[in-house]
């Protein structure tokens, strides 16, 4: 069975989507529609902007979403998913790809999400760090022992867990985790503590937008970040999408569940190949490739 997966923030690169725009009339039409919906020419920033331009949350999230969704559209008849999933932001791409959301509604929600997350980041300085080479349970226990806000945020693959929290909380956690035997505790260059309680203001704002948006019955199940379970009911999809902003991304568990349910081939749709690397570490007997 084929599983299509969609990357999240961090997969962006200068020039992303330019080749799609130049080679496909369908892609050009969607990119231009996106410029109108967003109210600025995101294509200029994607195709010819700087790394700094693309690191702005208001640009990064729509840019990665557009690259992924338009690539899925270009695949046409070749895009035949048995199941889909997306990493964090990528969940929105997956929901457009499996037709739960229209392109327009998906992009509008992503733009709203990016704005809400940026505002939450501005309220309190916060960050994230990647912890390599320590058992997930041990990382979670050490985070729980710290009085500052610090929580597991992304269960990326066995032995690779990203934590999220206040600046001080992350500093304390990194020291404690290195002392406990972590191979690396690497602070990440991100705008804030994504997938932590510090995103609660963003969750409330996005919830309002999601609840006003129409979701269709999808053409195949989506495995969602907040629960790692497969879902087809539109109302449940909405609930999990709202929970996602403050809940950890259960990527390891989600991929394991997809494999248990019959996935043998994983195709990453979007910029980069980060998910291919993670999936190779989670499931040794599956094939991974890019679209």
Task: Determine the Cα–Cα distance for residues 107 and 113; give it in Å rounded to an integer.
Answer: 10
Q: Is 88 a catalytic residue?
A: yes
- pLDDT at residue 284, rounded to an integer: 86
Buried b (16+ CB within 10 A) or exposed e, 43-74: bebbbebeeebbbebbbbbbbbbbbbbbbbbb
pLDDT > 90 in the chain, percent: 90
Q: How long is the chain?
A: 291
Q: Which CATH architecture has domain 2-122+197-290?
A: 3-Layer(aba) Sandwich (3.40)
Task: Determine the Cα–Cα distance for residues 244 and 90; give it in Å rounded to an integer.
Answer: 11
79 Cβ contact partners less than 8 Å away, ≥ 6 residues apart: 4, 72, 73, 97
Say if residue 76's pLDDT is above 90: no
Dihedrals φ, ψ of 50, to 5°?
Answer: -95, 170
Q: At what angle do helices 234-243 and 90-97 cross, to 10 degrees?
A: 170
Domain residue ranges in the chain: 2-122+197-290, 126-187
Out of 67, 87, 195, 196, the active site residue is 195
Say if residue 64's pLDDT is above 90: yes
If phi > 0 it is left, if psi is from -120 to 50 it is alpha, else beta; for residue 6 that is beta
Give the angle 176-177-178 at the CA atoms, nearest 5°.
95
DSSP assigned state of 190: -
- Give me the mean pLDDT over the 59-71 stretch: 95
- Give me the mean pLDDT over the 24-39 stretch: 96
Task: Determine the Cα–Cα distance for residues 247 and 197; give it in Å rounded to an integer.
Answer: 8
Out of 67, 68, 87, 88, the active site residue is 88
Q: At what angle do helices 57-75 and 90-97 cross, to 10 degrees?
A: 30
- Give me the mean pLDDT over the 34-43 stretch: 96
CA quadruple 284, 291, 81, 153: dihedral positive or negative? positive
The answer as to CATH 3.30.70.250 being correct for domain 126-187 is yes
Give the model confidence (pLDDT) of 238-272 as tens digits: 999 999 999 999 999 999 999 999 999 999 999 99
Residues 161 and 152 sit within 8 Å (Cβ to Cβ): yes
Structure tokens at 4: 């299509």
Domain 2-122+197-290 shares a fold with domain 126-187: no
Between 52 and 68, the higher pLDDT residue:
68
Task: Determine the Cα–Cα distance for residues 275 and 235; give it in Å rounded to an integer.
Answer: 27
- pLDDT at residue 190, rounded to an integer: 81
Give the model confidence (pLDDT) of 158-215 as tens digits: 999 999 999 999 999 999 999 999 999 998 888 899 999 999 999 999 999 999 999 9
Q: Is 195 a catalytic residue?
A: yes
271 Cβ contact partners less than 8 Å away, ≥ 6 residues apart: 7, 11, 12, 13, 16, 17, 64, 67, 68
Say if residue 77's pLDDT is above 90: no
């Amino acid at each position: 069975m084929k599983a299509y997966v969609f990357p999240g923030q961090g997969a962006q690169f200068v020039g992303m989507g330019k080749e799609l725009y130049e080679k496909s009339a369908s892609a050009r039409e969607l990119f231009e529609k996106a410029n109108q919906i967003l109210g600025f020419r995101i294509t200029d920033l994607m195709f010819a902007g700087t790394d700094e331009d693309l690191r702005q949350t208001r640009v990064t999230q729509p840019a990665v979403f557009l690259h992924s969704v338009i690539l899925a559209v270009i695949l046409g008849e070749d895009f035949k998913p048995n199941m889909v999933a997306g990493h964090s932001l990528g969940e929105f791409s997956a929901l457009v790809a499996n037709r739960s959301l229209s392109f327009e509604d998906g992009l509008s929600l992503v733009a709203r999400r990016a704005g809400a997350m940026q505002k939450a980041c501005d309220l309190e300085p916060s960050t994230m760090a990647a912890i390599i080479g320590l058992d997930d349970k041990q990382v979670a226990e050490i985070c729980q022992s710290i009085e500052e806000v610090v929580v597991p945020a992304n269960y990326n693959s066995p032995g690779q867990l990203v934590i999220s929290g206040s600046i001080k909380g992350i500093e304390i956690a990194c020291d404690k985790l290195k002392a406990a035997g972590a191979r690396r505790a690497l602070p990440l260059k991100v705008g804030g503590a994504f997938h932590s309680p510090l995103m609660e203001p963003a969750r409330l704002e996005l919830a309002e937008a999601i609840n006003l948006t129409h979701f269709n019955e999808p053409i195949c199940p989506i495995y969602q970040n907040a629960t790692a379970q497969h879902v087809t009911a539109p109302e449940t999809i909405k609930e999990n999408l709202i929970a996602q902003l403050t809940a950890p991304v259960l990527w390891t568990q989600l991929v394991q569940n997809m494999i248990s349910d019959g996935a043998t081939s994983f195709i990453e749709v979007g910029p980069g190949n980060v998910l291919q690397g993670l999936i190779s570490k989670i499931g040794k007997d599956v094939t991974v490739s890019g679209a």
